[in-house]
Homo-oligomer: A and B are copies of this chain.
C-alpha cells in the first residue's frame, strides 16, 4: 500500500477546504496518509491580537528565525495545536476520515534538542547570545504511535511542537521547522512520497518570476542556490527525506482545485533519485 506524507504550509493565502477534501478522497482510495501542517501566519495574527507581536532573531549570517520564549510557545501551541489542528480534524471527520490530531510532543513522536545558544545580531549590530530560546530541531521520530493509528484505519494529523530533552533530563516543548519534521516523519514511516505544499508553486530560479519554476531538482546545486528564505528549509527537508529513503519529494502549491494530484503528477519541483 502506498504511504504518503503531505505537509500543508501555514503561510498566508492557503485555502484549506479544497485540499482537505482532496486529502479525504485520497484516504478513501486506500492510501496510507499522514497530514502534517503549520500555522505561522495565523500565529502572527493571534500574537498581534494578544498584544505580543512576533519578534525575530537575526543571525550574524542574516538568517531570520522566530524568537520563541515561553509566552510565544504558548501562543504557538494555541494556534498550531488548538485552532489549526482541530479545525483540520473537524473538517476531515466531516468528510468521513477518522482523523486524530496530534502534536510532536504527544506520545513523544518528534524527539529533538533545543538550541543551547543562538548568536543574534541586535539593532545596533552587536552580537548577543540567546540561551533560553524554545526552538530546535527534530532528531528522531518514533513512528510507533503513527503506525498504530494507521494500522487501525485512523489518520494522524501532526503539527509542531516537538519534545526536547534537556541536559538535566526534563523535557520541554520546542518550536521546530514543520517541513523538516515532515521529512523525518516520511523517512521514519518508509513513505513512498512526501509532498511539501504551500503558497508558492515550488523552487523558483528567480523568486520574483513564477514562470522560473525549477521543475526537476536533479541539478541539486542549482536548486540549493535558487532557494532563499523559507524555501531553504523546504529544499533541506526534501534532501533529508531522500537520504532517509523516501522515493519522491515534491515541493508544490497547496492551492488550486486538485493540488495534491497536481503535485503527485509533477507540478512543482520534483526530487527523485537524487543522490544528495
Listed in ascending order, the chain A residues whose CB lies under 8 Å from chain B are 46, 49-51, 74, 77-83, 85-87, 89-90, 93-94, 98-103, 105-108, 144-145, 148, 152, 154, 161, 163, 170-173
Number of copies of this kind of chain in the complex: 2
Q: Given A46-B50, A81-B82, A89-B105, 11 other A-B contacts at CB below 8 A?
A: A78-B79, A78-B82, A81-B86, A86-B173, A89-B106, A90-B173, A93-B163, A93-B171, A98-B108, A99-B107, A100-B106
- Would you list the 8 A-B pairs with minimal beta carbon distance, nearest first? A82-B82, A78-B82, A78-B78, A94-B171, A81-B82, A77-B86, A77-B82, A100-B106
Q: What are 15 A-B interface contacts by the 8 Å CB criterion? A: A74-B83, A81-B82, A81-B85, A81-B101, A82-B83, A86-B161, A90-B105, A90-B163, A98-B108, A100-B106, A100-B107, A100-B145, A101-B105, A101-B106, A144-B152
Query: How far is B95's CA from A171's CA once the two chains are assembled, in angstroms?
Result: 8
Specify which chain B residues have a CB less than 8 angstroms from the CB of A83 in the assembled complex: 74, 77-78, 82
A100-B102 in contact given A78-B78, A152-B148, A161-B86 (Cβ < 8 Å): yes
Report the minimum CB–CB distance from A37 to chain B (whole Å): 14
Please tell me if the beta carbons of A154 and B163 are within 8 angstroms of each other in the complex. no
Query: How far is B144's CA from A81's CA once the two chains are assembled, in angstroms?
Result: 23
Query: How far is B148's CA from A74's CA once the two chains are assembled, in angstroms?
Result: 29
Query: How far is B7's CA from A30's CA once the two chains are assembled, in angstroms?
Result: 37
Report the minimum CB–CB distance from A273 to chain B (whole Å): 37
Please tell me if the beta carbons of A105 and B86 are within 8 angstroms of each other in the complex. yes
A154-B86 in contact given A163-B93, A170-B94, A171-B93 (Cβ < 8 Å): no
Query: How far is B94's CA from A93's CA once the two chains are assembled, in angstroms?
Result: 31
Query: How far is B171's CA from A248's CA once the two chains are assembled, in angstroms?
Result: 34
Please tell me if the beta carbons of B103 and A101 are within 8 angstroms of each other in the complex. yes
Report the minimum CB–CB distance from A132 to chain B (whole Å): 16
Minimum CB distance partner of A173 in chain B: B90
Query: How far is B93's CA from A108's CA once the two chains are assembled, in angstroms?
Result: 8
Query: How far is B145's CA from A227's CA once the two chains are assembled, in angstroms?
Result: 42
Specify which chain B residues have a CB less than 8 angstroms from the CB of A173 in the assembled complex: 86, 90
A86-B103 in contact given A78-B79, A171-B94 (Cβ < 8 Å): yes
